[in-house]
Structure 1
Amino acid sequence: MSGLLALLDDVAALTKLAAAQIDDISAQAAKVGVKTAGVLIDDTAVTPKYVHGLPAARELPIVWQIARGSLFNKLVILLPIAMLLNLFAPWMLSPLLMIGGVYLCFEGAEKIWHVFHPVPIPVDAENPIDHAHLEKQRVAGAIKTDFILSAEIMTISLSSIEASSLWTEGLILAVVAVGITALVYGSVAILVKADDAGLKMAQDGYFEATRSLGRFIVRGMPSFMEAIANIGTAAMLWVGGAIIIHGLEDFGLSSIGHFVEDLGARVRELTTVASGLLGWATEASLSGLFGLAIGLVALMLMSVGTRVTASFRTG
């Protein structure tokens, strides 16, 4: 009998330990998820464009294909690479984060540049659109873009984890990968089908209030999607700029980071209403402006490189 009681005590102790580990993993995953919010917003804002112009019946299957590709990117490719880097070359995390930050700034600056210098889309009126081929191209392009954003998410996550063991670290990264993918592509699925749901409500709603809400959704979705895209662009610049600023501090170049933090602290001191929010907004805006400057430089260098490469090919 005493042996059975001792066994039950051991089981209870192991259960408590497992519960504590699960709580720690959940808490760390939530904290890491907050730090990747900017990239998540951009990922959510970018994806709906890949289903634009395709049959409505294919929208959700396409989102599901991209989500599966995103999970494969994170769990099968990026997670093992991130763990190996953290184990054997942790010094590479900060440079890789900065490279990813430059890419985010480049993408954000390119979007802003195209607002003022739009690129015309060629239309071939003689040949009808091959939706099946277009779908494959869109899915492949979306998964490639997701790979870069996922790499940034996993690197940010890895640099934010405080784990006692390699296995705990891996579990936290896996939880973050699955949770973020579900959040992003679940949100995308809702966004791309919201206008269809609104149209259904407007046409078949039993109550006038339901029909009015449906019409409001249909009218408002284009503006809402544009707002999401703009928020995503701002988030890219803010997150990318902040990553580069913090990375420079690791290399002893802390003047920019101190300037941003000092100005944010000064705003908090001088304001009495929503001082924390205003201080954060100041720091985010300065990081975004810095990110825009970096992105424009990267865009210029990319343009010059493209022209030089083209001249060599023609020459």
Structure 2
Amino acid sequence: MPSGLAALLDDIATIAKVAAASVDDVAAAAGKAGSKAAGVVIDDTAVTPQYVTGFTPDRELPIIWRIAKGSFFNKLVIILPVALLLSLFLPWAITPILMLGGAYLCFEGAEKVWEKLVPHEEESLVEELAELTSAEHEQNMVKGAVRTDFILSAEIMAIALNEVKSLAATSIWLEAGVLAFVAIAITIAVYGVVGLIVKMDDIGLHMAQRENGGSQAIGRGLVKGMPKLLAALSTIGTAAMLWVGGQIIVHGFGIHPAEFFGLHEGALAWIADAALCGVVGLAIGAVIVLAHHMIPKRKAH
């Protein structure tokens, strides 16, 4: 009996060591995958605040939470199982599907550029406020943010899956664990930062009302600076859509633009690749936007 108990405890200890090693493998692989996807994560963080701009302060965090829940659903319920199934049975289909998503990002980015360049009918202040506070407008913005998040999330998860597959020893369970870990960690990080960004003006207002002179100065600086930061993030978010969308398509064809200039690694290679992919993304998006706006007019005519 004692020997049997000792053997049982030894087996439990062995299982615990294997489980701990598996957890370490997941954490290590997830860390490498997360670092590889850092560029897309930053883009995701820059893109999202523009979907919250214009709402009343009491609706900002609830809207971010709704988008975050949509992001969790995108990554864990849709992308994760589909990515694993495709990697097992149709690995060649992953790149074309990502390229279609990249085309959608190009369209979204070019559409925002179109809205800035082409004059629209101006609404009265009352109509504009009524639209911004309507439940329908909020629902449309959340849906748009979740759609954009889906494409960016697919890119993040594809990078993570590719990274874990490069390991010497891998399994379907390790891949699933890494993808789930990356999905949860990145979603919490992105939408935590987005929530902090959109509430910084409220934090600044609270600090400006304190008696401490230093807090007041910082608070006033935050209140004055946040509109400029949000406007800058809106521009960066649009550029990020074009860059990431163009990059997905260009790299999908096996082309790395920076290599045409003899650049393979480093900051200059990254800048050249981002700039050229952004131009390609804008060109592709412009074609789709023109088709989108011209075809309905022809049908109406």
Same-fold call, TM cutoff 0.5: yes
Residue 238 of structure 2: aligned partner? 233
Residue 265 (1) aligns with residue 252 (2): no
In structure 2, what is the Cα distance between the partners aligned to 1:128 and 1:293? 34
The 4+ residue runs of structure 1 with deviation greater than 4 A are 118-121
Counterpart pick for 1:154 among 152, 157, 167 = 157
In structure 1, what is the Cα distance between the partners aligned to 2:74 and 2:125? 34
Contact in 1 for aligned 2:204/2:218 (Cα 8 Å): yes
Counterpart pick for 1:245 among 250, 254, 270 = 250
Residue 37 of structure 2: aligned partner? 36
Contact in 1 for aligned 2:105/2:151 (Cα 8 Å): no
| TM-score (normalised: structure 2) | 0.84
Residue 10 of structure 1: aligned partner? 11
From the superposition, tell whether residues 227 and 278 of structure 1 become closer, same or farther in structure 2 (CA, over 3 Å): same
Residue 193 of structure 2: aligned partner? 187
Q: CA deviation at 1:8?
A: 3.1
Residue 215 of structure 1: aligned partner? 220
CA RMSD between the two structures: 2.8
CA deviations over 1:41-88 (Å, ceiling 9, x no partner): 332223223333333122212211221122122212222222222222
Percent of counterpart pairs with the same letter?
51
Residue 180 of structure 2: aligned partner? 174
| SS, match of residue 54 in structure 1 | coil
| SS, match of residue 122 in structure 1 | coil
| TM-score (normalised: structure 1) | 0.81
What are structure 2's unaligned runs of at least 5 residues? none
Residue 138 of structure 2: aligned partner? 135
Residue 202 of structure 1: aligned partner? 208
CA deviations over 1:9-65 (Å, ceiling 9, x no partner): 333322222222112212222222233333323322232233333331222122112
Residue 252 of structure 1: aligned partner? none
In structure 1, what is the Cα distance between the partners aligned to 2:112 and 2:236? 12
In structure 2, what is the Cα distance between the partners aligned to 1:286 and 1:134? 35
Contact in 1 for aligned 2:49/2:234 (Cα 8 Å): no
In structure 2, what is the Cα distance between the partners aligned to 1:148 and 1:122? 32
**Count of matched residue positions in the alignment of Structure 1 and Structure 2:** 295
**2:275 is aligned with what amino acid?**
S
Residue 60 (1) aligns with residue 58 (2): no
Q: CA deviation at 1:195?
A: 0.2
What are structure 1's unaligned runs of at least 5 residues? 250-255, 269-275
Contact in 1 for aligned 2:244/2:278 (Cα 8 Å): yes
